[in-house]
Amino acid sequence: MAKEAAAALLTSAAVLPELQAGPSRLPTSTPGTTFTLGADHGADSKPASMTDPPANPDVSMASEHFDLPRASPDPNPSDFKTEFHPHSKHQMLYQSAEEFGQQDVESMDPDPMPWCPFASEGDFTFAKVAVEAGLSSGQVDHLLGLINSVSKGTAKVTLRNDAALRTVLDRAAAQLTLFSKLNFTIPYKGEVIMFLLHVRPLWEWALDMLTNPLLTLHFVWDAQRLFKHNGQEYKCFYMEPWMGERWWDVQVRE
């Protein structure tokens, strides 16, 4: 039966060009086929072998010699599969463990203005530094004023990094008497607590001030006594070191 079905299929393929050429070229019968074209059939009639099912439903036109190869299962399937809603028109996504959960940044256009809502990248950078440093409102105003002066050319900043800043600070500090470290201990609740103090000798520091011509005009050399009337009499009060009794006594002995 399989050979007969194959022969019928080949014969139908041979007759197909004649069908396309028109009824005038069709033969009335073809050996090996089961159909005839008579007066009761029109040009649109089809061969019985192409329309009628086979007598035996268990026999198909494709025998075991015509079976198509079946796809074998993937020996290495992907670790993850993502199915999208049909309305999204996205294809099924298969990903490995390394790819799963990773965003496809290549399909994203870079933000041309990542500093928004700041007006410029410089504004964003300044705000970031000011917040991280915990600057006060006065410090922010002073620093912005300096930046504006530099941009206008009325001020100049030569420092380029923290190392340069520390170097110039050390040079400035060396112009005066330096601080020294002193360990200070005090008993408290049966324990001795130690404190580390940074001190500057007052005498050397005062001599440093005296050698500065910009500061000598602001020194007060004479002892003073201040009084405030309380409604009945004047009462002495103290506000500065040169208003103390010791300062007064020192000048009396001169």
pLDDT in tens, 116-136: 999 999 999 999 999 999 999
Q: Are 113 and 126 in contact (CB under 8 A)?
A: no
Residue spans of the domains in the chain: they are 2-51, 121-157, 180-216, 220-254
Model pTM score: 0.41
Residue type, position 60, single letter: S
Residue type, position 119, single letter: A
pLDDT (0 to 100) of residue 128: 96
Q: Are 184 and 204 in contact (CB under 8 A)?
A: no
Show the low-confidence residues of the chain (pLDDT under 50): 9-10, 13, 15-30, 32-43, 45-46, 48-51, 59-60, 62-65
